[in-house]
Structure 1
Amino acid sequence: MIDWPIAELLPHAGNMILLDGVLRFDDDSLEACATVRPGGPFNDPDGSLPAWAGVELMAQAIAAYAGCRARREGVPIAMGFLLGTRKYSCNVERFPAGSRLTLRALRSLEDESGMGVFECHISGDGLQAEARLNVYRPPNAGDYLAHVQETPHD
């Protein structure tokens, strides 16, 4: 397991952090672990996570990958954005409370503008989910957000 605290790798805070830690990291991939804990912002009343929350778990694995890269390169953790997902499939309707999950994110494309595509997988006891996530990490997220807020929307 990587010794870096997960809270230092993600631009999330408090109960928005769904991952427990990073198991492995290399130039193109990350493997992380998570335990489904009741009382989080996405949990159902029985403590389970709905299957759609798998996309957030995958996005956090990608953010942890970016955080590990930033930490290795000695630069600050930067904010990124989930643009969308393709072909999300999950063999369960919910991840039961107490489930121990393994997440894998494999970078399949990344360009200089900050656009990236990752193949992501979640596995656990009888659980399987997979998707391709499109992400964007602008060079300066603060400037990007200010520009988006100033742009008129119809």
Structure 2
Amino acid sequence: MKSEFNVDELVPHSGRMSLLSEITGYGEDWLSAAVDITPASMFADEQGVPSWVGLEYMAQAIGAWAGLQERKQGRTPRLGFLLGTRKYSVPVAWFLPGERIHVKVTRNMQAENGLCAFDCELQGRDYEVTASLNIYQPEDADVFLRDAK
């Protein structure tokens, strides 16, 4: 099912820091999105976008999934924090201009305290990458950040 919301309504990033191009589908425990690599893409240079940015594509897709859950309950999307990843290895150094990256995230585990684990996939021109991301989404990010000082 395609989302009735656009990326800007789901991910609490603004301007060039919002990296997803569109939400392409979702279900109860998953979301798929696309990223179009252009010369204007955040982090792009003459070679394209460094492949390490794929972690942020995955994290923002998770943010979009979480934002969709909030929107379906009539609430505003909340901030989340990437805690870590396992097994992120990309066989290319750059995502190339003109390339469309497909991202899929699937919730693996969600605890009541805001900790979540997601299985993630990136598909590009001739490769597929998988990784696991651990996320923390506090009830109130402002309080969390203030208390973390």
TM-score (norm 2): 0.94
> Residues 1-154 of structure 1 correspond to what in structure 2 (within 5 A)?
1-43=2-44, 45-46=45-46, 48-149=48-149
Shift of 1:70: 0.7
**Residue ranges of structure 1 left out of the alignment (5+ in a row):** 150-154
TM-fit CA distance, 1:40: 3.3
Distance 1:33 1:41 in 2: 15
Give, in angstroms, the shift of residue 127 of structure 1: 2.9
Q: Residue 47 of structure 1: CA displacement?
A: 5.3
In 2: Cα distance, 1:3 partner to 1:92 partner: 33
CA distance, structure 2, for counterparts of residue 66 and residue 79 of structure 1:
9
Aligned partner of residue 61 in structure 2, secondary structure: helix
Deviations 1:82-134 (A, max 9, x none): 00111101121111011111100000011000000001001022132221000
State the Cα RMSD in Å: 1.1
Identity over the aligned pairs, expressed in percent? 36
The answer to whether the 8 A contact 2:47-2:94 is kept is no
Q: Which runs of 4+ in 1 moved over 4 A?
A: none
TM-score normalised to structure 1 length: 0.91
| SS in structure 2 of the partner of residue 59 of structure 1 | helix
- Of 122-131 and 92-101, deviating more is 122-131
